Structure 1
Amino acid sequence: MRRLHAHRLGRVGYAEALALQERLVEARKAGAVEDVLLLLEHPPVVTLGRGVKDGKNLLLSPEAFRARGFEVHEIGRGGDVTYHGPGQLVGYPILDLKPDRQDVRKYVASLEETMIRVCAEHGVEAERLEGFNGTWLDAHGARPRKIGAVGVRISRWVTMHGFALNVTTDLSHFGLIVPCGISDKGVTSLATEVAEPPTFEAVTERTGEIFAALHESELVWHDGPPELPAETDRRPRA
């Protein structure tokens, strides 16, 4: 059985988390680390995926976002504009899908299924919505609203980026963008949908457990970032 090392990181700046992911991806490709799941939350940040067209789904300029204390980053994941912030559980799996998990759709579905099962444990019925990534409430009803987002990048079958589940997120921040480029559907959070919202820590714990079970992996918990192997010295030798 594979091992999955889940790291509880607390609140981490987006650029710092991205740099950590990139180093982990290279280490995973080299076989220097095992599968990793980073679980964290970000300060307020807007990220622009490869699907962004001329920033049209930003309702403020990047400068105006920064003036309000938001970071703005253009990144290499799929998808459009999204928001991350306090109270939103972000999961960044760094997995090597070789040799027997080389199915992108199945992998993305596992991220959605993780959030669906976490929601179900708190009495919230989440589901998929055909034609859209992520996890939704009332997906086929009168008031569809998104509770979890997905955006991934896969290089040589090693994954990065991942999923984001709204736990106690300030939903007003989504009003500053067109989330994922979808203008006719809403957003929600666990705290909005239940009378007694779960703690962020409890959701983090169950998310790690459910994700590991879906990937048939032995879960190993860590507090703090993973230890990375020393980088190879690439300087030319005399």
Structure 2
Amino acid sequence: MTSHAPLRRMDLIRGGLVPYAEALAWQRRLVAARSAGEVPDTLLLLEHPPTITLGVRADPAHVLLSAEQLAGRGLALVASDRGGDVTYHAPGQLVGYPVLKLSHHGADLGRYVRTLEEVIIRTLADYGLVGERVAGLTGVWVHGGTAKICALGVRLSASGVTSHGFALNVAPDLAGFAQIVPCGISDRAVTSLEALLGTAPALVDVEQRVLAHFCALFGVTCEPRDTPS
């Protein structure tokens, strides 16, 4: 008889609508706690209010509005410590932040990012959509790589714990992406499940599908817990 290793436990935090700066503070506390062995791996699933974030390699010129215009539109601008360039968050976008010890999941950052992409590709397949990778770029694309539906940007701490993650466009206001050069790429579009399907699936349904594929691909079982204090 073949024996199977038990699934690794992972905490699941459903945060709802959380300001980006607050979620960033949550991640930093979780990274410290995971590094110290005080908590298990954790997956945060949430949404953000309208926010533009700058990754560690971001070109400020890729934000197309002045500080005054951003303030007038109620847009937060936050410098993040994730990888990548400029991106946009808004309600209707499912954001996932896995905080996990990479050595327990293959110890290969590139493979980890590809696995996150595969979670989204399988989720899109559930809706009859073909998600694709584009050589040299990060994220998940559709229409032959001409439109991005999911952005990815991650960070690995000195202790080998991941943070940040993916942002899947379910039904955000896509006009918000016109305020930036998304991920520094000017010649490709941004799309959403709503735009592709003609109607928006319920965010909770998308969340459940993402969670199922995440658990299967990472070999974990997710146990709900309260939001970080």
What displacement does 1:96 show? 0.5
- What is the CA–CA distance in structure 2 between the aligned matches of 1:167 and 1:114, rounded to whole Å? 15
* Greater strand proportion: 1
- Which residue number corresponds to residue 210 of structure 1? 213
Counterpart of 2:73 (choices 63, 68, 76) is: 68
Q: Which of 76, 82, 88 is equivalent to 2:87?
A: 82
Aligned residue for 2:227? 225
Q: What is the match of residue 232 of structure 1?
A: none
Equivalent in the alignment of 2:13? 7
Mapping of residues 6-25 of structure 1, within 5 Å: 6-25=12-31
Q: CA deviation at 1:52?
A: 1.4
List structure 1 segments (4+ residues) > 2 angstroms apart after TM superposition: none
Asked if 2 retains the 8 angstrom alpha-carbon contact of 1:78 and 1:152, the reply is: yes
Structure 1: runs of 5+ lacking an equivalent: 228-238
CA deviation after TM superposition for structure 1 residue 66, in Å? 2.1
8 Å Cα contact 1:81/1:178 also seen in 2: yes
Contact 1:128–1:139 (CA<8 Å) still a contact in 2? no
Mapped to 2, the partners of 1:176 and 1:99 lie a distance apart of 39
CA-atom RMSD in angstroms: 1.3
CA contact (8 A) 1:9 1:38 kept: yes
**1:17-36 residue pairs with structure 2 within 5 A?**
17-36=23-42
Q: Give 1:221 shift.
A: 2.9
Mapped to 1, the partners of 2:100 and 2:212 lie a distance apart of 16
Match of 1:145 in 2: 147
| Conservation of the 8 A alpha-carbon contact between 1:6 and 1:208 | no
Number of residue pairs matched by the alignment: 222
> Which is richer in helix?
2
Deviations 1:99-151 (A, max 9, x none): 452101110011111111111101111110111100000235xxx10000000
Structure 2: runs of 5+ lacking an equivalent: 1-6
SS in 2 for 1:98: helix
Offset, 1:220:
1.6
